[in-house]
Amino acid sequence: MRFVIVTGMSGAGKSQALKIFEDFGYYCVDNLPMELLISFARLAGSGKAGMEKVALVTDVRNGDSFLLLEHILESEEFLHIPYEILFLDASDECLIKRFKETRRSHPLEAQQGSLEAGIKRERALLGFIRSQAAYVIDTSFLLTRDLRKELHSIFIQEQEYKNLNITILSFGFKYGIPTEADLVFDVRFLPNPFYVENLKPLSGNDEPVSTYVMSFEVTRIFLEKLLDLINFLIPNYILEGKNQLVIAIGCTGGRHRSVTIANALYEALSGKGYGLKVEHKEL
């Protein structure tokens, strides 16, 4: 049996995750009272209910009884129940934006006096369960399809998950550096296809442009050194507890060189167990 406890910040995507688990064939339960958790887990583990895969969402909507979760997970009864914790997180700015867009109230907003205070209080309440989570997914920059892909790789393909979502973002310096970038690399020193007549209207997603950019030794040396740096940084970011990394690659207009290098970096990092996506800001 696979028993997944889904929790995390309100607005981080738990409802979407539960729908995805249901599509995966999981028996799904939302907001089960804490007092029933042990009994439910025993029932699922007995095999009598036909629940081979279970996903259960619990969070601060349980009110004060949510605090029982820490004691339940440490109790002798629960020591014999195999479970995994999936924690969905997002930045405060992202959560505030989502609540304002949907015009929904945060579960702790009225109690704490404001949305920002409710989010802060929720983070404090969830600290103990986040530290125990086997999987922490930051959904700040994830679309629903990206979340589905991450959950599929973990719970269907059973790939090793390293609790880090990486976004590789190409951009144009003339439009400004993306505010969400953690690492910024300038590739304006590479030969520019913009000045080649038949390449100018194309982008780095087109084979003639990518072939042109990658044909230069300076490009290949740069990419090798960039990969060496990224492969050094990623494990250390994971040890530090970072779960979201945005690598921005910039050229002048964000259409040729940066797109080519971003795509090449994406290909090089694929299959290593990280959440990974590539975006081209100016295309």
Residue 175 contacts residue 169 (beta carbons within 8 Å): no
Residue 257 contacts residue 205 (beta carbons within 8 Å): no
Which amino acid, residue 228? Answer: D
Look at residue 135 and tell me if it is in a domain.
yes
Q: Is the pLDDT of residue 46 over 80?
A: no
Give the dihedral sign, CA 250/278/224/137: positive
Say what the alpha-carbon torsion angle 41, 43, 48, 51 is, to the nearest 10 degrees. -40
Look at residue 160 and tell me if it is in a domain.
no
Q: Degrees (nearest 5) of the Cα angle 255, 150, 62?
A: 125
> Where in the sequence is the domain holding 112, given as residue range(s)?
2-155
Instruction: Decide which of 114, 131, 155 is a domain's last residue.
Output: 155
- On whether both 145 and 174 belong to a single domain, the answer is no
**Structure-block tokens of residue 129:** 């369960």
Closest by Cα among 283, 277, 275 to 259? 283
Which amino acid, residue 18? Answer: L
179-226 confidence digits (pLDDT tens) = 989 999 999 999 999 999 999 999 999 999 999 999 999 999 999 999
Whether the model pTM is above 0.85: no
Distances (CA, A) of 86 to 12, 17, 36, 172: 12, 10, 20, 36
- On whether both 102 and 78 belong to a single domain, the answer is yes
Which amino acid, residue 237? Answer: Y
Question: What pLDDT, on the 0 to 100 scale, is given for residue 275?
Answer: 78
- On whether both 180 and 147 belong to a single domain, the answer is no
Which amino acid, residue 148? Answer: R
Question: What pLDDT, on the 0 to 100 scale, is given for residue 193?
Answer: 96
Look at residue 230 and tell me if it is in a domain.
yes
101-146 confidence digits (pLDDT tens) = 988 889 998 888 899 999 999 999 999 899 889 888 989 888 888 8
- On whether both 141 and 246 belong to a single domain, the answer is no
Look at residue 82 and tell me if it is in a domain.
yes
Question: What pLDDT, on the 0 to 100 scale, is given for residue 70?
Answer: 86
**Residue 186: which residues within 8 A CB-CB, separation 6 or more?**
173, 250, 251
163-172 confidence digits (pLDDT tens) = 688 999 999 9
Q: How far is CA 280 from the centre of its chain?
A: 18
- On whether both 147 and 41 belong to a single domain, the answer is yes
